Amino acid sequence: MIGISFYQQVEDDKQYSQKIAYKQAEMFFDYLVLMRQWNSRHGGVYAPISEHNPPNPYLNTPYRDIVSPDGKPLTLINPTYMTRQLAEMQLRQSGIRFHVTSLTPLRPESKADEWEVQALKAFENGQPSYTELADIKGKPYYRYMAPLKLDAECLKCHAVADKRMGDVGGGISVSIPASDIDEFIGHRFERLKKSHFFIAATGVIALLIAYWAQSKLTRRLTRAENHLQLAYLDALTLLPNRRYYDAFLRREWKRATRHRYPLSMIMIDIDYFKAYNDSMGHQEGDQCLRQVARTLRRYFRRSGDLIARYGGEEFCVVAACDASQILQLADILRMAVEMMHLPHPSSPISQYVTISLGVATLIPNEKIECTELLHQADQALYAAKHSGRNRVAKYQD
Ligand SMILES: Nc1nc2c(ncn2[C@@H]2O[C@H](COP(=O)(O)OP(=O)(O)OP(=O)(O)O)[C@@H](O)[C@H]2O)c(=O)[nH]1
C-alpha cells in the first residue's frame, strides 16, 4: 500500500506540474497578446534606432523611420517586432521561448517548426489551443500554442487574398524547458521517497514488535497450556486424570441439577490386574493400561461425556444420559475390551483381559451430593466383581 501511495503521488505530482507548466505558458501568451493589443492600439510605437532596435526590414509601411525634432533617428515597432524583441530578452533571461509564427511568414526566422505547423493546422480546424511535451533542438519543452486573430494592424503587412479580419493569421508558441519542472519534481520525489521510507520503516518495526510480542505471548500460553495439561492429564494413558474428573463431575452435576436431567456414571476395573502384573511384568501392565484406555476413549466424543483414569487400574465414566442408555454403553465398553483379545494367562475367568463395570444413574437435585453417584457406581462395580467379573452390574438399592 505504501508502494502504491508512493507511485500515485509521484504520478499526481507529474501531472500537476505539467498542468502548472501549461498554465504558466498560457498566462505568458495572454500577456503577450495584451501587450500586442496595446501596441496595435497606438498604431505601433517609435523608439530610437540602436544596436538592439534596428529598423525592421519586413515592416512595409510609410514613415517606418523618422527623425525626432532634436535629430534622433527613430524606427517604428509594430506588435510582431515588439514580440520578437521581448522573446529574445526572455530567452536570454530564463530560457523560456516565445515564437510568433504562421504558415505563411514574411521573415524566414518566423517559419513554423514541425510541431508549430501541426498546431497551426489544428487552429484552422477550430482547436483553441495546442499543448504537448515536445523537443526543440533535442531538448524537451512543455509547449503551448494558441492562435492570433488577424486585425487591421496585421493586415497592413500580411494582406493575403483569402484572409479577413478575425481569421487565424498565425500563433505564438510558448515553450517552457522541461528541466525547470523536472527539477521541481525531483525535489518533491526525494521528499516523498524519504517520507514513504519512514512510514514503511515504522510499519515494519511495528510489525516486528507485534510479531515479537505475539510469539512471546504464544510461548507463554503454550507453557501454561502444557502445565495445565500436566495438571489434568494422566501421563500413562493420556486420559483426563482424577482431578479433572472430579471438577468435571461437579460442573456437570450442577448443570444437571439446574436443568433436571439424569446423570450416569460407570466405574470400570480391569479384572485380576494384580495377577496380570505378576505374570507379565509391570511394564506389560502399563502397556495393557494404555491399550485399554485407547479402546475405551474411542466411545467418548461428545462434550458432555467424559472418561478418565480414576486411579490404578480403574477408569470412570460420566455421561449425560439415562439408565438404559448407560447400560447399553457399559456393555459396549465391556465387549470392546474383551474383543481386543489381549492375552491374560493368569485370569481364572478368561484367556483375555476383561473388565468389570458398575453403573449408576441419578437425577440430581439440591439435596443430593455428586459423591452419592460415585458411591452407587462403586457399589455396582463391587457387585459386578462379586458376581463373577467381566460383566456390567447396575446399582440396586
Ligand atoms: N502396571 C501397573 N500396575 C498398576 C498400576 N496401578 C495400579 N496397578 C496395579 O493394579 C493392581 C490392582 O490389583 P487389585 O486392586 O488387587 O485388583 P485386581 O488384581 O485387579 O483384582 P480385581 O480387581 O478384584 O479383579 C495392583 O497390583 C497395582 O499394583 C499402574 O499404573 N501400572
In the chain, % of residues over pLDDT 90: 76
**Domain span(s) for CATH 3.30.70.270 in the chain:** 242-394
Distance of CA 272 from the midpoint of ligand 1 (Å): 7
> pTM here?
0.54
Q: Residue 107: what pLDDT?
A: 79
pLDDT (0 to 100) of residue 129: 95
Residue owning the nearest CA to atom 18 of ligand 1: 272
Ligand 1 lining (C-beta closer than 6 Å): 236, 269-275, 277, 282, 285-286, 289, 312-313, 385, 389
Class of domain 242-394: alpha beta
Residue 156 has pLDDT above 70, yes or no: no
60 or 68, greater pLDDT: 68
Position 71 pLDDT exceeds 90? yes
pLDDT one-digit tens code per residue, 219-258: 999 988 888 778 899 999 999 999 999 999 999 999 999 9
What ipTM was predicted for this assembly? Answer: 0.97
- Kindly give the distance from the C-alpha atom of residue 298 to the centroid of ligand 1, in angstroms, as a whole number: 23
Q: How far is the CA of 279 from the centre of ligand 1 (A)?
A: 12
Going by C-alpha positions, the residue among 315, 396, 310 that lies closest to residue 357 is 315
